[in-house]
């Protein structure tokens, strides 16, 4: 299953790893970058390397060009079972290629795009062989671009989000992962943000707290109303022999039929 929810956990807090794994998140995202102070990075790297391969986990390493990047890759190269590596500050094609070349073939590479340059070159990043998914770093991008976000809807970041969605689709990647919601204790706000992301074409969302996992998973899964509609559409289309049909007052042609089939496929029904 394509990951809908990726829950951050600091790499230097191994006591939190089991709680993150029990949260229902599709992937636990062990963080070696922003959440870990420089003096703690070596210890965090060892803790993450010992735990991640035995669990459904990804690791955000330190950015290319930092003093910790090479050591991160060397340590993770010895972790069988690791699902994905997330490369932050992804904006340089050569850095992505170099990272891909250091990973075991079974480890996916997610490019975390969080700068104006990265958004501008999103199509080039998405086309690097070995990159499997784009991720939006909304907070850092806003800072880098000098954009002030005025409300929870983050309408000022619409262009950047759409760039990642289109670049992913054009390159044949799965739908990208949306950025974080920084308010931790409002599930309705998280659910609304996740639903907006889904409507824009994202396939998942970064989570900062276990409380955000359930609303994110729900938002990126078809609800019962959507499934009932999809079943009616598929049934009507089957009865029509492939001709356009009318369902619930709407004309259903090939694209709408494909949407219905996709919804049912996502739900395994």
Per-residue pLDDT at 151: 87
Per-residue pLDDT at 104: 80
Average pLDDT value over all residues in the chain: 91
Q: Inform me whether the pLDDT recorded for 73 exceeds 60.
A: yes
Q: Inform me whether the pLDDT recorded for 266 exceeds 70.
A: no
Mean pLDDT, residues 139-157 taken together:
95
Per-residue pLDDT at 243: 66
- Domain positions in the chain: 5-219, 224-266
Per-residue pLDDT at 234: 75
Cα dihedral 218, 224, 228, 234, rounded to 10, equals 30
Per-residue pLDDT at 217: 97
* pTM of this prediction exceeds 0.85: yes
Which residues have CB under 8 Å from 92's CB, separation 6+? 64
- Tell me the per-residue pLDDT of 168-182, one tens digit each, with 9 for 90 and over: 999 999 999 999 999
- Tell me the per-residue pLDDT of 199-254, one tens digit each, with 9 for 90 and over: 999 999 999 999 999 999 999 987 666 667 667 777 766 766 666 677 777 777 77
Per-residue pLDDT at 142: 97
Per-residue pLDDT at 226: 67
End-to-end CA separation in angstroms for the chain: 14
What would be the CATH architecture of the domain defined by 5-219? Alpha-Beta Barrel (3.20)
Percent of the chain scoring above 90 in pLDDT:
77
């Amino acid at each position: 299953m394509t990951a809908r929810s990726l829950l951050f956990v600091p790499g230097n807090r191994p006591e939190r790893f089991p709680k993150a794994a029990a949260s229902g998140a599709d992937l636990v995202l062990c963080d070696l970058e922003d959440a870990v102070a420089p003096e703690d990075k070596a210890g965090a790297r060892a803790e993450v390397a010992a735990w991640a391969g035995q669990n459904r986990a990804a690791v955000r390493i330190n950015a290319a060009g930092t003093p910790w990047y090479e050591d991160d890759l060397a340590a993770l190269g010895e972790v069988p079972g690791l699902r994905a590596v997330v490369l932050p500050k992804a904006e340089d094609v050569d850095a992505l290629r170099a990272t891909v070349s250091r990973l075991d073939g079974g480890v996916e590479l997610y490019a975390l795009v969080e700068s104006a340059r990265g958004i501008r070159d999103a199509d080039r990043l998405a086309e690097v062989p070995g990159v499997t998914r784009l991720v939006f770093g909304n907070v850092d991008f806003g800072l880098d671009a000098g954009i002030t976000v005025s409300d929870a809807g983050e309408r000022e970041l619409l262009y950047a989000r759409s760039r990642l969605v289109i670049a992913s689709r054009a390159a044949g990647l799965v739908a990208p992962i949306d950025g974080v919601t920084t308010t931790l204790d409002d599930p309705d706000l998280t659910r609304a943000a996740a639903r907006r992301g889904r409507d824009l074409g994202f396939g998942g969302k970064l989570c900062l707290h276990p409380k955000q996992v359930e609303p994110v998973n729900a938002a990126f899964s078809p609800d019962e109303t959507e499934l009932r509609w999809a079943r009616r559409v598929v049934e009507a289309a089957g009865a029509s022999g492939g001709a356009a049909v009318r369902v619930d007052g709407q004309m259903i042609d090939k694209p709408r039929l494909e949407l219905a089939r996709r919804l049912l496929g996502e739900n395994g029904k």
